[in-house]
Amino acid sequence: MILKKTRRSLMIVMTKDTMQIVREQDVVPFRNRVRELSTKIGMSLVNQTKLITAASELVRNMLKYANGGKVMLETVSKNAQSGIRLIFMDQGPGITNVQQAMQDGFSTGKSLGLGLPGAKRLVNEFDINSIPGEGTTVTIIHWKHGR
């Protein structure tokens, strides 16, 4: 992906959709929805799998630590390239130390501790914003021809 730092281009949101995630049973329909969207924009199978896996990690985190939340699914376009943007919003306890949470192998639950850092490696753009006591918002973007 070529990032032009000199001229900021506008990102256009083509479609918008929201999904509520409250139970573990919501994970599979959500993943299918992401798959549907990424197939629609013609994403390759490898990129699809990467995006779905990252989305799956984040949605599981949301369920485990914040008892659910909502996800905004968007098809975006920038520099004539289309992609999928997913925004995960929860009102959970938040992450006190984001830097620590982004390290491989760190987990406050009994998991592998690869969810957040792994998801970051899987997608093109990753942004996390957490306020302890208020909630966490994670935004990921994966482009159609992402690496």
Partner 1 sequence: MNKIAQLLQNNKKQILESWMQNQLADASLRDDLISNEELRRQSDELISGLARATSSGNMDNIYTPEYEPVVEILSDISITRARQGFSPRETGMYVLSLKQAISTVLEEKYSEQPEVLYKELITTHKLLDNLSMVTFDTFIKGREEVILRQTDEINEISTPVIRVWEGILALPIIGTLDSARTQIVMENLLEEIVNTGSSIAILDISGVPAVDSLVAQHLIKTVSATRLMGAECIISGIRAEIAQTIVHLGIDLSNIKTKASLASALQLAFSMRSVEVRKINKNTGFSLTR
Residue numbers of the site for partner 1 (CB under 8 A)?
24, 27-28, 31, 45-46, 48-50, 52-53, 56-57, 60, 104, 111-112, 114-115, 117-119, 121-122
Nearer to partner 1 among residue 60 and residue 78 (C-beta): 60
**CB neighbours of 5 closer than 8 A, spacing ≥ 6?**
none
Which residue do the tokens 């006190």 mark?
Answer: 96
Nearer to partner 1 among residue 77 and residue 120 (C-beta): 120
**Which of 121, 127, 122 lies closest to 140, judged by CA?**
127
> Rounded to the nearest 10 degrees, what angle do helices 27-40 and 45-66 cross at?
150
**Least distance to partner 1, CB of residue 50, Å:** 6
Nearer to partner 1 among residue 24 and residue 134 (C-beta): 24
Nearer to partner 1 among residue 26 and residue 77 (C-beta): 26
**Least distance to partner 1, CB of residue 142, Å:** 12
Alpha helix stretches (DSSP H) within 67-144: 98-101, 115-122
**Least distance to partner 1, CB of residue 21, Å:** 14
Nearer to partner 1 among residue 77 and residue 114 (C-beta): 114
Q: Which residues pair with 13 in a beta bridge?
A: 76
Structure tokens at 131: 């306020």
**Least distance to partner 1, CB of residue 87, Å:** 19
**Least distance to partner 1, CB of residue 22, Å:** 15
Query: What span, in angstroms and rounded, lies between the C-alpha atoms of 48 and 63?
Result: 22
Rg (CA), the chain: 15
